[in-house]
Amino acid sequence: MSDISESMESLYSACNMQSDTVPLLQNGQHTRSSQPPAPGPRSAQPQASPRQRVQRSQPVHILAVRRLQEEDQQFRTSSLPAIPNPFPELCGSGGAGSSPTLPPGSYPPNQPPPKQGLPRGCRRDTEPLRKDVKVFSEDGTSKVVEILADMTARDLCQLLVYKSHCVDDNSWTLVEHHPHLGLERCLEDHELVVQVEGTMASESKFLFRKNYAKYEFFKNPVNFFPEQMVTWCQQSNGSQSQLLQNFLNSSSCPEIQGFLHVKEMGRKSWKKLYVCLRRSGLYCSTKGTSKEPRHLQLLADLEDSNIFTLISGKKQYSAPTDHGLCIKPNKVRNEAKELRLLCAEDEQGRICWMTAFRLLKYGMLLYQNYRIPQQRKALLSPFSTPVRSVSENSLVAMDFSGQTGRVIDNPAEAQSAALEEGHAWRKRSMRMNMLGSQSPLHPTSINAVIHRTQHWFHGRISREESHRIIKQQGLVDGLFLLRDSQSNPKAFVLTLCHHQKIKNFQILPCEDDGQTFFTLDDGNTKFSDLIQLVDFYQLNKGVLPCKLKHHCIRVAL
């Protein structure tokens, strides 16, 4: 991971140095290194007139065009009505006999006349333009926020986090949602909200949602780009750092290739075609898997388009799979006929195509968006010690039974230590139950409902709904939620994501000495409530494929 960061930082610094050391003039030409004039012979030369001294980098105006512009300006100022002068005594030596109005042609040729006033509700040009934007949450609540015209999606998310009292972990995102088209996408952090809203229809709206996989490809790109789908025009060593550099470097020519189901424009039929994605656009082959120029046909352009996820592709567009994506031109609002609808065979393929589209379209801007939160955190706490990331590589099993702690290297011993820790929690909860009184707030009754106050518990939702929430908030390892079981009214279900696949684990209640406990492993590890169970599996893998890291959350605005 450190090699990836170092290589990305070197590429990022090289791009910045190139933009800083080669400034551009107004006409778009690069500045040339100017030498100081040599004394002597040049001083004897006659001075050129101001009209003859014209720099190479400045535009030269044609005299006829300039004369026409001056005449047009004089005509405009002479046609304006007379404006009363509030200070007639300052208009020359005419005294009281002078006219109390300024003559129409007395304004400078390049300065517009002053405004008489502004209607009620309007702002002057010097004030920043403001606009009201309505943002919805996952539970249907909404909030109207007044934003500036130059506010980005990241700025609006931070404002909503502040207003909603959420934890700002840089995983919040603004979603562009089109219910009539069945499309949605996460806005990039640098995109202007007002500009994006200008391309949306009246039925469309913004959603405020978590997305843990927004920049996950910078951490582990191999999981996002299968080897058989990526090709390079130049020789590549195949490392993770080289993989990302080829995507971010504008001089490289990476390609994503594979078969996709393509919907024909204006028809309901789908065709399985061999497709390749390049910097110049998305192409399909008219002859098998041939990528010769005469066999490639342009499907969509990357410049003026954005890539979306199909919400219900099978129901709305008769898609062959549930892993649909769409390339939507920015000019399209309600016309479904102009959408380029595609379908992948599996979820990993869809994620690969969508991630490659973002990297080829925005390039180094994505890496800047990824680095900005880390740089801000470093500036806020320059003297604090670095916080260890909660990952499977940084958490180890420890034994504190002796005077000093030791790391448990044996996996079997670590598993037994985890079971002993679970039994210790069970004994502590039993002692609490023995000391408690039989009141309405008895621990047994509290344990049965206390989990409903947690953000990771989503109540009575279906299996399909839980999978949809996991997909929306990012298919990253350790993303989870808990819900009520539909088959067993006394049980619960843990929905967990691992290797971009969603798995379900049933949490069953069990009786022991008159007390009710919850277990995931057939009673080997028991917990008095679901909060203890979640806390335990956030630190211990146990029978799960990975530890619990991120929980799905819905915030009411």
pLDDT one-digit tens code per residue, 417-458: 777 776 665 555 555 554 444 444 444 556 667 788 888 999
Structure-block tokens of residue 312: 């219900």
Mean pLDDT of the chain: 77
pTM: 0.68
* Other CB atoms within 10 A of residue 133 CB: 17
Element (DSSP H or E) covering residue 373: helix 364-380
Contacts 24+ apart (CB under 8 A), 20-27: 25/57, 26/57, 26/58, 26/59, 27/57, 27/58, 27/59
Share of the chain above pLDDT 70, in %: 66
Mention every residue, 6+ apart, whose C-beta is less than 8 A from residue 506: 485, 488, 491, 492, 493, 494, 520
Query: Is the per-residue pLDDT at 469 higher than 50?
Result: yes
Q: What confidence category does residue 253 fall into, taking pLDDT thresholds of 50, 70 and 90?
A: confident
pLDDT score recorded for residue 370: 92
Q: Given this model, what pLDDT does residue 95 score?
A: 44
pLDDT the model gives residue 555: 82
Beta bridge partners of 398: 407
Strand partners, 173: 209
Which has the minimum average pLDDT: 58-62, 282-286, 398-402? 58-62
**pLDDT score of 445:** 57
pLDDT of 543 above 60 = yes
End-to-end alpha carbon distance in the chain: 37
**CA distance linking residue 67 with residue 346, whole number of Å:** 66
Q: Is 136 exposed, middle or buried (0-12, 13-18, 19+ CB in 10 A)?
A: middle
Please check whether residue 483 is in contact with residue 496, taking contact to mean a CB–CB distance below 8 angstroms: no
Q: What is the average per-residue pLDDT within 63-74?
A: 53
How much is the pLDDT for 461? 93
pLDDT at residue 505 tops 70: yes
Total Cβ atoms within 10 A of residue 342: 27
Pairwise CA distance, residues 442 & 437, whole Å: 6
Which residue did the predictor score with more confidence, 113 or 551? 551
Report whether 299 contacts 284 (CB < 8 A). Answer: yes
Q: Which of 444, 424, 446 is nearest to 434 (CA)?
A: 444
d(CA 525, CA 519): 6
